[in-house]
Chain A
């Protein structure tokens, strides 16, 4: 093989590999086959999850939304903890065997990973508080005081 032929071949192979990668990205079916449907975790809002119907019940998903207190007045003092995750239109009851982090409280954004069961309860063992991971300087003293308050015991 001549050098320029090898060059063409190399770029041809790269193009084919890149094309295959793009094909996987754009074909949900193929991606599901390759990674396993249960291993592809998508991020859904309560409305999206409920709209998906049966399809939403099978897969492990990450559900994101705001926390509303559970029906029990002592809802945040026991495990499994039960609360609602809601967006503008819908709410889903969440039951978590995993302890939520310190920042967890009414009105805060959370992401829970798990499955919606047949009773319409989202079961999870992992509650993550949504926050900007970006390292940022508090803008003023009020914000700093607010940040400090989240951890005080009183």
Chain B
């Protein structure tokens, strides 16, 4: 029987070869519009995908059989872990996770080839050409610097045999086992592959955007698959980020879920540009505008996923995620440069082709909508000005206030005085336009805010790397820097999320706009007042709650008002009417659902961040202490030996309002392969708050235990916030359901973009 090393390596090399040949075939097919070339490229894509998927299966088989002659199994395998941990050891360390990466890429390639069929011939050849070139890059990583199928060196096998004992064939009987972080919590089983599904899928977006540039065309026919292919990895990325926060909360024991750690930022950056892409793609699709910008965002998102991979996998940060170092870093950096230069050159040289023959939007002076013609010109101007200042006013005041507080500032020797914070206000005059009240403008604003956010996070993430690598200065950028930006930008984002869906595309009647605007804003004001009455009085939290309530009401209103009209005014049957609306406006419903998820997340983050209480305590055995509305008694500490780890468990009885709510057992877990213990916090989760007990240390004999205690409101809801987003994505990205025999396609009137 052939060995796993040979089989795996052959598959990887085969995949690599097919990707290289397929890439060439794809480019040729794209340039020459040849169907034969396209068929070759498609066949080779399938070949690459199958090779990589089977290579993953081979590695899993090797892990299950504990074949320590495979270097990766020798690195992470052990006979002591349960079967599911053995299988997920596939992503326990660097080279395995790169293999998984290639496997996921294979799945995406296969999905794309099947979904496209032989349609989209103008773009498909180039798409596969670029996509398979990306596959070649990752294939090179798997086959070369991060080869998990390399045979284990004899010396290492001998050493393992010495430590763990040898079987009759001279092979070691056991191995070191996977990274304890993987074994310590079930979330670590889910978080990495979810994030990979997000990261890797962005290669499709990259290839499809590049194909539009190479083909020199970007029409609505290509926007549909482009948006759909983007939504799936975007949803996984969203889920992966939240799962990462949850994992950090449940495992790391510091009691938080987001610390602006470079590795967290690495996943957040592509999410920011991706979400901007999602919205600017709507503009490109419906209004045929912002084409190059949309393509730049799509391709930039992929570049940022590469950058994120570089941050997490090259070990530039000595962070919990950066386990393992190797020569992957320089190779990935080379990929980033190649893809970056490709993006810039392609956009610069081909961008003008996209606009050839494009239909210009009707321009000229805005016509007064019929509904507004009853108003006198003065009233019209005043009502525009009023609504305009309500929309632009709050962010303008916020920005001016932030500038005012930041000044005077000395930048490069020049002192900027305080009054300079007012200088930008005349710029607002430039914005003054009656056309401001349209969804188009709100989407442009959304894009601007997301880009600024990306820029800030990117600066904070790269600065320490550059300072250390160029000046040998070890420095970190503290959380307050990010928080100072995240709050105003977050508020702006949620505000736009409320206002945007309220406004229709293009010209808006001012009477209609006021009508749409007043409801949500008054709902927001009332909701904020009610929340304030319950004792939440911190201004930052209240501002966040206000914008979230406005956005919630606006999104709900936009969703329910057409339904209301049909059922109440037109007396339609409720169920068929809902079904019909749902079917016709899937993207719209999906978008609103996703917005609910974001709102839920922002509200809970604001509350949990604003009203968290934490304290460190050292307790003697039998001692009882009070923490907030809880009382804790340290009962005892005991040591449990398990095959692959030793756990020190401290038992605390927790009381609330004089009644016991249970015994909590935070523990410190010691794995054979790690010199420091991993804490396993105990959490009492309730719908309104979490009580978080993290064991810091236990004195010899169990006489004293020290504990990190934290009480945070509304944390559990954060973990649930991806659910509406996933549901919305599923709704928007699901292929068309055709219940009846297809008749004539109704033109776009029924379709409302979300």
Contact = CB atoms under 8 A, between A and B. Distances in A.
Interface in B162-193: 162-163, 176, 179
A19 to B, nearest CB: 12
A3 to B, nearest CB: 5
Given A24-B463, A79-B617, A135-B674, A14 B700 contact: no
A137 B160 CA distance: 10
Contact of B476 (A10, A41, A76): A41
Nearest to B340: A14
Interface stretch (A50-58, A86-94, A114-122, A145-153): A145-153
Interface in A1-53: 3-4, 6-7, 9-11, 14, 21-22, 24-27, 29-31, 33-36, 38-43
Nearest to A25: B466
Contacts of A6: 348-349, 351-352
B628 to A, nearest CB: 17
Nearest to B477: A35
Interface string B644-661: 001010000000000000
B477 A3 contact: no
A35 B476 CA distance: 10
Contacts of A38: 478, 480
Given A3-B349, A25-B470, A77-B618, A150 B675 contact: yes
Interface residues of A, number: 61
B700 A154 contact: yes
Nearest to B705: A99
B442 interface: no
B152 interface: no
B348 to A, nearest CB: 4
A73 interface: no
B676 A79 contact: no
A35 to B, nearest CB: 5
A25 B349 contact: no
B275 interface: no
Contact of A147 (B473, B672, B708): B672
A123 B561 CA distance: 58
B698 interface: yes
Contacts of B696: 99-102
Contacts of B361: none
B346 to A, nearest CB: 10
A39 B348 contact: no
A123 B320 CA distance: 26
A148 B478 contact: no
Interface in B312-364: 315, 318-320, 322-325, 344-345, 347-352
Interface in B636-686: 637-639, 646, 648, 668, 670, 672-677, 679
Given A79-B616, A99-B616, A43 B672 contact: no
A29 B415 CA distance: 13
B471 interface: yes
B323 A102 contact: no
Nearest to A141: B163
A116 to B, nearest CB: 17
A136 B618 contact: no
Given A11-B344, A41-B476, A153 B351 contact: no
B617 A99 contact: yes
B105 to A, nearest CB: 25
A148 B672 contact: yes
Interface stretch (B381-389, B406-414, B537-545, B570-578): B406-414
Nearest to A149: B670
Contacts of A136: 673
B377 interface: no
B324 A135 contact: yes
Contacts of A72: none
Given A3-B349, A151-B646, A42 B478 contact: no
Contact of A138 (B462, B616, B672): B672
B698 A102 contact: yes
Interface in A130-146: 131-138, 140-141, 144
A35 B463 contact: yes
Nearest to A27: B412
Contacts of A144: 163, 672
Nearest to B162: A140
A100 B411 contact: no
A43 to B, nearest CB: 4
Given A60-B478, A129-B676, A148-B646, A134 B325 contact: yes
B697 interface: yes
Nearest to A17: B455
B706 A36 contact: no
B352 A3 contact: yes
A58 to B, nearest CB: 14
Nearest to A76: B699
B475 interface: yes
B429 interface: no
Given A135-B323, A150-B677, A36 B480 contact: yes
Interface of B: 93, 162-163, 176, 179, 315, 318-320, 322-325, 344-345, 347-352, 409-412, 459-460, 462-463, 466-467, 470-471, 473-481, 484, 616-618, 637-639, 646, 648, 668, 670, 672-677, 679, 696-702, 704, 706-708
Given A7-B345, A36-B484, A153-B638, 6 more contacts: A39-B479, A39-B481, A98-B708, A102-B697, A133-B320, A153-B639
Query: Which A-B residue pairs are the 3 nearest by beta carbons?
Result: A99-B706, A151-B670, A39-B478
10 contacts: A6-B349, A25-B463, A25-B471, A39-B477, A102-B668, A134-B315, A135-B179, A135-B674, A150-B676, A151-B668
